[in-house]
Chains A and B, each alone.
Chain A
Amino acid sequence: MQRINRSELIKAAAKLIESGEADRVLGWKKGEFDYDVTPYVFNSIDEIEKDFVWGDFCGANFSKYLIKETAKSDKKVAVFLKPCDTYSFNQLLIEHRFEREKVCVIGVSCSGMADIRKIKDTAGEGIAKIEEQDGYLNVFTLYDGIVKIDSKDALAERCLCCTKRCVVYDELLGDGENKADNDRFAKVEELEELTEEQRYAFWKSELSKCIRCNACRDVCPACTCEKCVFDDPRSVLENKAAANEFEEKLYHIIRAFHVAGRCTDCGECSRVCPQNIPLHLLNRKFIKDINAFYGQYQAGEKAGQRAPLVDYTTEDREP
């Protein structure tokens, strides 16, 4: 159950459109199923009132959409950003990917998003409808009737360890802070303790599931290159990615290197992976190492900050 109501979000968006501050709103639109929510650009208050949704399946991070959306018009675009999304937003501003002035940010407090895979694990296939009620999800299935699941048990992994807060907004709904107490590096530490062979086996089994649909890259707010190296025949990397004994190993590792220091740990890569590969673990390993080598660093936390891996300072040690 979200702490902020849908009506409050609609009110905030309607105010911006009515006042002429923004002429469109980037938000979540109802999909074919309740858990199948789609990013959408709403052009009118009517549209918003009809199709806008806010609930436990609004996981999509809109920051990356702003690169193309802001380029379309000189008018401002309004956008809903959850706490974790605001870090990606800041990181993109640091990288000059769009102009801050062209966006109205409505920061939305979030109580964590549900992971449909966890629900399916309990309720099985054939989910027709999901309703929230008093901290429980009533899952209507075609085969097993109504299955009741505690909302907490359905929370996505990234939300279980979320300590993020809205770091950038024009308007904030709620306090915009999360204080989960799970350690996000627990699984990384577990993997670090494995032997090299065991770790290799773990990643081999995970990454060999990859069907190279590119969803992780396409959703990633750090992957905003004008031309991706994996799509560019001149980059030489293009045909390197697949040329290995387990498919696409290099693709994911190269991608993790590319976003190292810029990844805000928003977890979108794992959310969209149709094969359930825990891709966020690769990024978290980098984040953990950066923290260990250069001190605590959270990408996107502050506007204008420079990531330790791509900065040159006078205090850098001479080789």
Chain B
Amino acid sequence: MQRIGVFICHCGSNIAATVDTSAVVNALSAEPGVVCAVDYPYMCSASGQDMIKEAIKEKELTGIVICSCSPRMHEATFRKAAAAAGLNPYMVEIANIREQCSWVHKDKQTATEKAIVLGRAAIAKVSLNTPLQPGEIPVTKRALVIGGGIAGIQTALDIADAGFEVDIVEKKPTIGGKMAQLDKTFPTLDCAACILTPKMVEASQNEKIRIYSYSKVEEVSGFVGNFTVKIRKKARFVDENKCTGCGLCTEKCPVKNVPNEFNLGMDSRHAVYIPFAQAVPKVAVIDADYCRMLKDGKCGLCSKICGAGAIKYDQEDEIIENKYGAIVAATGCEPIDLDKFDEFAYSKSKDVITSLQFERLMNAAGPTGGVLLRPSDNKHPKTIVFVQCVGSRCEAHAKKGKEYCSKICCMYTAKHAMLTREKYPDTDVYVFYIDVRTPGKNFDEFYRRVAEEYGVHYIKGMVGKICAENGTLKVQASDLLADKQLHIDADLVVLAAAIEPDRSTRPLATMLTASMDTNDFFTEAHPKLRPVESPTAGIFLSGCCQGPKDIPETVAQAGAAASKVIGLLCKDRLTANPCVAHCDEMSCNGCSTCENVCPYHAVTYIEKEFRMPDRTTKIRRVAQVNPAVCQGCGACTVACPSKAMDLYGFSGKQIYAEVDAICR
């Protein structure tokens, strides 16, 4: 028989105001197996914990129940206290009488009754607990960063700085990400390339960092500390070790009309190209969709002209397999497709552009050499209308766009307006907004300067329709503050398109078994207290893949993710969670149901020889759980038709005992 101690916390008035704790003490002390039941104002305090420790020793308790807040808050605290008193930490059960009781009820009598029932269930469960011993798992001391934008670069640099090896996998031919396409950065207006490219160079020169550019993650297996990742290094048809980045091939290539993705299709590049001047690695890449040699076998000009002999038309994709202890997702974001926003004539007029295109038009390395010319006729636009929240803050029933605020648009639009007015003071600039949101260091000051000193017309209201007519864009909009309709003839319209997670994020999340929200952003382990960790152990989040962010926030989060990775990699061994599934092989049918439902690929099947009750031997197909991979989610235990699968610490028997205690 267990000797159970019950400890009821008041949590100040959080619990005690709604739950009659002394009534709970009286009721629970009558439960079978309970040898002591006490209440105390703050069980989590040092004196509360001491009380528990003393009771464990004095009353020789074999199991304890704490009626308090959610186990997510203090389960670890009480387990440590139990361990300090010599009790196996897994002989501790928490009855959540705060979040699930006192906070959600008003009537003291019903709340007290419910607290008693919850306590009773925990007592029934702890009676069936068995001491568990966590195992240990080794740690591979190398990290993988997926995505080579500013988030990935910063995370990799910080991890390398701590002395650990780190690999960056970037799908594009160069690292740099979206920041490389930006012109100036708000609110200080320093040039994006000037602050980013030194970091790119630093990453490429750091001997702890390996960059796999033009590559993607193909397969992830394993678990925290022991991931095995297959990386597909796409054929770039250029030998990375030989190419000097001289750019001669990119000038001589006869295929000149390939839309240049770096300038968002506003100019063209050759079939062999280097994405931009400061690309890292500065190695040419041949676009197999356009290269004549690869398509028809006729041309070969780049190969002839290359002094280094770097062109390799027969290069093939390469699969590289590496082991990692931790993985950081830094896959970033991209502007949404605007095909559902045809009221803004985006698909009809070349002069309706996105803000990212505007960045390129303002940039010295952009298609116009930094001179603001509108795409249709290369003339200076005299009236520019900026439309904010295009696809952001949409209502759910609108079935287009996103419900969330993309967070960065207010500030970059203010920046665009300021830069336009500064360079071209004769230009009329209108900004249509729902709200202007500027909560960041020096952000509001910046916005006010734009609105008050630079003569930008900020108009609260949305643009309803844009029609392209004879080279002008007829903008119909409403001014909500003046309560009137506006008609503006604009030369250029810039849409602040919402940002969404990169489209590679969902398949990646599936590979990583990391959860995502409905918008395909990665979910963090705790929205406030664990913002850079995924709920899946060993997976960390950096940058916009977790939610919209500006550059300073991204860099801060990148550093935070790096520090979490460093904290993991500096350990030689990790303690495994002992609450994992196990299989009763004699009951196992070998049906593979558990294998199918396991999100972590922790279940495998083996053919095993059994001694049967009739003294014969039989080879049977049975399930095996890898306890290091199992996260204890319990999906297999529910799916198993013969109840051969069970969870340590949450056995079917324990759950039934809890339900029985509740229904008694």
| Alpha-carbon distance between A152 and B599 when the two chains are bound, in angstroms | 50
Asked whether, in the complex, the Cβ of B586 is within 8 Å of the Cβ of A227, the reply is: yes
Number of A-B contacts (CB under 8 A): 66
| Alpha-carbon distance between A220 and B510 when the two chains are bound, in angstroms | 37
Question: Per-position contact with B for A251-265: 1 when CB-CB < 8 Å, else 0?
Answer: 000000011001000
Looking at chain A's contact residues, is the secondary structure mostly helix, strand, loop, or mixed? Answer: loop
A306 contacts partner chain B, Cβ-Cβ < 8 Å: yes
Question: Per-position contact with B for A224-243: 1 when CB-CB < 8 Å, else 0?
Answer: 11111100101111001000
Asked whether, in the complex, the Cβ of A314 is within 8 Å of the Cβ of B642, the reply is: no
Q: Which residues from A are CB-within-8-Å of B593?
A: 95, 310
Give the contacting residue for A226; candidates B516, B598, B642; CB below 8 A.
B642
User: Which residues of B562-594 are within 8 A (CB) of A?
Assistant: 586-593
Give the contacting residue for B597; candidates A225, A312, A318; CB below 8 A.
A312
Asked whether, in the complex, the Cβ of B516 is within 8 Å of the Cβ of A318, the reply is: yes
B621 contacts partner chain A, Cβ-Cβ < 8 Å: yes
Q: Which residues from A are CB-within-8-Å of B652?
A: 235-236
B241 contacts partner chain A, Cβ-Cβ < 8 Å: no
Asked whether, in the complex, the Cβ of B507 is within 8 Å of the Cβ of A226, the reply is: no
A148 contacts partner chain B, Cβ-Cβ < 8 Å: no
Q: Which residues from A are CB-within-8-Å of B596?
A: 306, 310-312
Q: Which residues from A are CB-within-8-Å of B618?
A: 71
Give the contacting residue for B639; candidates A227, A228, A310; CB below 8 A.
A310
Asked whether, in the complex, the Cβ of B653 is within 8 Å of the Cβ of A226, the reply is: no
Q: Which residues from B are CB-within-8-Å of A318?
A: 515-518, 523
**Least distance between A49 CB and chain B CB atoms (Å):** 34
**Least distance between B622 CB and chain A CB atoms (Å):** 9
Q: Which residues from A are CB-within-8-Å of B656?
A: 236, 240
Give the contacting residue for A227; candidates B516, B642, B653; CB below 8 A.
B642
Asked whether, in the complex, the Cβ of B592 is within 8 Å of the Cβ of A258, the reply is: no
B255 contacts partner chain A, Cβ-Cβ < 8 Å: no
Q: Which residues from A are CB-within-8-Å of B507?
A: 314
Q: Which residues from A are CB-within-8-Å of B588?
A: 226
B425 contacts partner chain A, Cβ-Cβ < 8 Å: no
Asked whether, in the complex, the Cβ of A97 is within 8 Å of the Cβ of B589, the reply is: yes
Count chain A residues whose beta carbon lies closer than 8 angstroms to a beta carbon of B. Answer: 26
A96 contacts partner chain B, Cβ-Cβ < 8 Å: yes
Q: Which residues from A are CB-within-8-Å of B590?
A: 95-97
Given the known A-B contacts A96-B590, A226-B587, A318-B518, are A232 and B597 also in contact in the complex, defined by CB atoms under 8 Å?
no
Question: Per-position contact with A for B227-258: 1 when CB-CB < 8 Å, else 0?
Answer: 00000000000000000000000000000000
| Alpha-carbon distance between A234 and B523 when the two chains are bound, in angstroms | 38
Q: Which residues from B are CB-within-8-Å of A309?
A: 639
Asked whether, in the complex, the Cβ of A225 is within 8 Å of the Cβ of B589, the reply is: yes
**Least distance between B376 CB and chain A CB atoms (Å):** 42
Q: Can you list the 8 inter-chain pairs with the closest CB atoms, starting with the nearest?
A: A225-B642, A95-B591, A314-B510, A236-B656, A227-B587, A310-B593, A310-B639, A96-B590
What is the interface of chain A, defined by CB distance below 8 A to chain B? 71, 95-97, 224-229, 232, 234-237, 240, 258-259, 262, 306, 309-312, 314, 318
List 26 contacting pairs A-B, 8 Å CB cutoff, sorted by A.
A95-B592, A96-B591, A96-B605, A96-B621, A97-B590, A225-B587, A225-B589, A225-B641, A226-B642, A226-B644, A232-B587, A234-B653, A235-B652, A236-B652, A240-B656, A259-B641, A262-B641, A306-B596, A310-B593, A310-B639, A311-B596, A312-B596, A312-B599, A314-B510, A318-B518, A318-B523
**Apart from the given pairs A226-B589, A236-B656, A311-B596, 10 other A-B contacts in the complex at a CB distance below 8 Å:** A95-B589, A96-B591, A96-B592, A226-B642, A228-B642, A232-B587, A232-B643, A309-B639, A310-B596, A312-B599
